[in-house]
Structures are given as C-alpha cells and as structure tokens.
Amino acid sequence: MSRRPEQESGSTEVRHKKTGKRSRGRPQAFDRKTVIEQAMLLFWERGYEGASFNALTEAMDLSASSLQNAFGSKEALFREAMQYYSEGPSAWYAEALAAPVTAREAFEMLIAEIAVNFTRLDLPVGCMVSITAMQTAPDLTSIREFATQARQASQKALADRLRRGIAEGDVPADTDAEALAAYFGTVFRGMAVQARDGASRGELSTIGAYAMRVWVG
C-alpha cells in the first residue's frame, strides 16, 4: 500500500501543545476545553493504555494532583475526551446523517468525510472511536464496554438513517437496516485501520466507492 501523500515522512505523532513549566505546590488554573483536547489527541494517537498517566500530565501541562482533582481518574478523563471527540473532530458524522438528502446521498457524504477526516495532517489518523480501546488488558472491562457502546451507538445511527430512508421511500422496503448498517459500520472501521496503516485519501475513497456497490435503489 502506498504512503498517503497527506502524511509527512518520519513520525506521524501529532505534536501536543505545551504552555511551559508548571508550578509545583499550588493549584493550577487551566482552561478545561484546552486540556481535554490535549488528552483526546493523546488517547486517539496512542490508545487508552498507551497514553500513560505521566504522558497525559505532560500533554495537558497539569500536575498529577491537578489532573486527579479535575477529572478523578484516567478512565473519567478518557470518557470526557471521547465525548469531546464526538462533539468536535467527528461532528461531521452526525451532520452527514442528519443532512436533508436521500439515505444513499447521506452515506456517500459519510464516505467522502471519512476519506478526508481519517487522513488529516493536523489530527491523528483514523477514528478515535474505532481503534482507541479495541484491545485492552483483561482488568479494563469498563473501558472495553464503554468503547463497545460508542461503536454500537455509531452503528445504530447508520441503521436509524436507513430506517428513515425506508420510511421516506428512497430505500427499498425490504432492506434489512440492521444488516446493512453492520456492513457499513464494518467498512468504516476497516477504513480507520487502513488509514492507520498509511492508506491515502484516494485509496479510502476507492474503498468507499466499492462498498457503495451493494446499495440497491
């Protein structure tokens, strides 16, 4: 597979902002949105387990005590970072599904957005929901369940859009919305992995175009 032209040679690691040395021994004022964004980038890039507590404090420019006081735990921080991701960098997903177009056009919009957003230079490649907590230690049951629920919610949104298409008459009435949503959910997660492996924007678009060939109507 060719290296995607949008990706610079060398490390693909997104550079996290630092605001200088942090003061020790006293509470630190900070902008919550800014530090959540930094945590999101690190989790997205390294996964839940790969983002160590020390790496998080450095990326967020917080002392360990400030981080714990503000968020309670690494898991709570991860959950908030995932929410930030859903409402920010991946807001295009819900927007495409809510667009006033046919179901087919909405899915074509999704594929176009995936090809662009999974290969951006200013963010980690791929999808945070798809890959950040796929593999975790046996004792991290709640993290695995949370990530699974996020992926299931993403797939349910696809099924809901297909059912809307059936109701509006632009998707055949005998379509199995759940099965077709599972198919596209699998394709989209695969595109996230392909992006991590260096697939170009054009290559992702081609994968999506082939996936759309199953569409009837």
At 217, which helix (H) or strand (E)? none
Q: Could you tell me which CATH number the domain at 90-214 has?
A: 1.10.357.10
pLDDT 10s digits, 198-217: 999 999 999 999 999 999 76
pLDDT exceeds 50 at position 24: no
Closest CA to 45 of 125, 137, 146: 125
Q: What share of the chain is helix, strand, coil (3-state, %, to 5)?
A: 65, 0, 35
More confident residue, 43 or 131: 43
Pinpoint the residues of the chain covered by CATH 1.10.357.10. Answer: 90-214
What pLDDT is recorded for position 16? 52
Phi first, then psi, for residue 210 (nearest 5°) are: -65, -40
Alpha-carbon span 137 to 54, nearest angstrom: 19
Give the homologous superfamily in CATH for domain 32-86. Homeodomain-like (1.10.10.60)
- Lowest-pLDDT choice from 22-31, 81-90, 101-110, 207-216: 22-31
Alpha-carbon span 134 to 33, nearest angstrom: 26
Phi first, then psi, for residue 7 (nearest 5°) are: -100, 125
pTM for the predicted model, two decimal places? 0.84
Q: Which of 113-117, 129-133, 213-217 ranks highest by mean pLDDT?
A: 113-117
What pLDDT is recorded for position 23? 44
- Lowest-pLDDT choice from 9-23, 69-83, 146-160: 9-23
Report, as an integer, the average pLDDT of 136-148: 88
What pLDDT is recorded for position 4? 46
What pLDDT is recorded for position 132? 83
Share of the chain above pLDDT 90, in %: 75
Report, as an integer, the average pLDDT of 72-98: 96
What pLDDT is recorded for position 7? 46
Long-range contacts of 68-74, Cβ-Cβ distance < 8 Å, separation of 24 or more: 69/27, 70/30, 70/32, 70/35
pLDDT exceeds 60 at position 142: yes
Alpha-carbon span 126 to 136, nearest angstrom: 18
What pLDDT is recorded for position 137? 82
Pinpoint the residues of the chain covered by CATH 1.10.10.60. Answer: 32-86
More confident residue, 31 or 175: 175
